[in-house]
């Protein structure tokens, strides 16, 4: 199930084994908290938490915790974080997966892929991938509403864009904006522009928007801000190269957003935004930029051009 379906599911029934996995750490931790709150009455007495490293080659320790009975409660919870058992450990656990203890809720909380665990019997998989725009918008709106203030649609969209859909960052920026705007009772896009920290990916997106609009002065200014923030022009060059290459691939590919995202090793949301931005350029222009960036990348790596020269020649070719 998706993260957004978990809360309702827990009101109907609490399972015995949960695999909470995905690349959004905020959703992973929130899922663990929701499950614990749904079944755990005495956390100090009935909660065991392990790191995956301490369980490696020591499955007996985990099984001992799983088969222990709760104290003064109907349920106890066992959490294993970043737990990726090898074949031998998984074989020892198969018996428990087949017949879990009714009074234990076992939560495996992983940031990485856990295909072998997801295939085991009685495992409920909670997908904690980055949320789509509707989920993120609803979450921001709900947090602001709980604080007793309002937020504009433009402000919500700006928060999501600035944070590149990362919920940990969205949570922090939303809390900051609520505190800042509490007295005036509303959060506006201007507040977001003033207070929120832009992710490097968003800065690159913004620079490309300026280029598309032929506003080269603002594009150059933003590049300089990015270089100052990174402290290294080479990092900005790499970001520029990767960004325009993604624009080109997204533009010419006939696959779905999900298919292109899988090929490029990025999130589906990134491809969606790339296609929206790539539409502002001709394919010929995008290919020219990518070819130039590739040329200077090769020249620098082969020693034909100094690093700074490669960086600035690349930036000027993109701007012009």
3-state secondary structure of 75: coil
**pLDDT reported for residue 230:** 67
**245 Cβ contact partners less than 8 Å away, ≥ 6 residues apart:** 290, 293
CA–chain centroid gap for 155, Å, is: 20
Contact 165, 137 (CB under 8 A): no
Q: Could you count the other beta carbons within 10 Å of the beta carbon of residue 50?
A: 17
Domains of the chain, by residue range, sit at 3-127, 133-195, 200-319
Residue located via tokens 């490696």: 56
CA–chain centroid gap for 228, Å, is: 25
CA distance 308 to 59: 53
Query: Domain spanning 200-319 has what CATH number?
Result: 1.20.272.10
CA distance 274 to 254: 14
**pLDDT reported for residue 320:** 62
**pLDDT reported for residue 311:** 76
Q: In terms of DSSP bridges, do strands 104-110 and 76-81 run parallel, antiparallel, or are they unpaired?
A: parallel
**pLDDT reported for residue 232:** 67
The backbone torsions φ and ψ at residue 210, rounded to the nearest 5 degrees and listed phi first, read -65, -40
Token pair in block for residue 89: 């450990």
Token pair in block for residue 216: 């080269």
**pLDDT reported for residue 73:** 87
The whole-number mean pLDDT for each consecutive block of 10 residues of the chain, a chain of 320 residues, reads 93 95 90 94 87 89 94 92 91 94 96 87 92 89 94 93 85 91 92 81 80 82 78 77 89 88 78 86 90 85 78 74
| pTM for the structure as a whole | 0.65
Q: Which CATH architecture has domain 133-195?
A: Orthogonal Bundle (1.10)
CA distance 181 to 179: 6
Q: Which CATH architecture has domain 3-127?
A: 3-Layer(aba) Sandwich (3.40)
């Amino acid at each position: 199930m998706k993260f957004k379906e978990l809360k309702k599911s827990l009101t109907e029934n609490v399972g015995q084994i949960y695999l909470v996995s995905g690349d959004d750490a905020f959703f992973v931790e929130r899922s663990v908290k929701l499950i614990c709150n749904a079944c755990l009455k005495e956390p100090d007495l009935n909660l065991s938490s392990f790191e995956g490293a301490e369980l490696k080659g020591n499955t007996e320790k985990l099984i001992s915790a799983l088969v222990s009975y709760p104290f003064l409660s109907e349920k106890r919870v066992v959490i294993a974080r970043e737990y990726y058992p090898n074949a031998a450990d998984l074989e020892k656990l198969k018996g428990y997966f087949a017949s879990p203890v009714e009074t234990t809720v076992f939560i495996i909380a992983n940031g990485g892929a856990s295909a072998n665990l997801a295939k085991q019997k009685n495992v409920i998989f909670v997908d904690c991938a980055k949320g789509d725009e509707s989920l993120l918008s609803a979450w921001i709106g709900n947090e602001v509403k709980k604080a007793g203030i309002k937020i504009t649609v433009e402000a919500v969209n700006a928060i999501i864009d600035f944070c590149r859909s990362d919920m940990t960052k969205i949570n922090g920026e939303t809390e900051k904006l609520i505190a800042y705007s509490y007295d005036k009772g509303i959060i506006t896009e201007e507040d977001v522009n003033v207070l929120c920290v832009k992710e490097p990916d968003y800065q690159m997106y913004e620079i490309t928007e300026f280029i598309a609009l032929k506003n080269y002065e603002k594009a150059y200014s933003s590049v300089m801000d990015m270089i100052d923030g990174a402290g290294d022009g080479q990092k900005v060059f790499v970001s520029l190269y990767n960004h325009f290459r993604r624009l080109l691939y997204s533009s010419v590919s006939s696959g779905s957003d999900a298919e292109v995202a899988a090929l490029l090793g990025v999130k589906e949301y990134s491809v969606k935004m790339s296609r929206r931005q790539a539409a502002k350029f001709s394919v010929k222009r995008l290919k020219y930029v990518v070819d130039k960036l590739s040329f200077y990348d090769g020249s620098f790596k082969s020693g034909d051009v100094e690093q700074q020269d490669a960086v600035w020649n690349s930036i000027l070719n993109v701007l012009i």
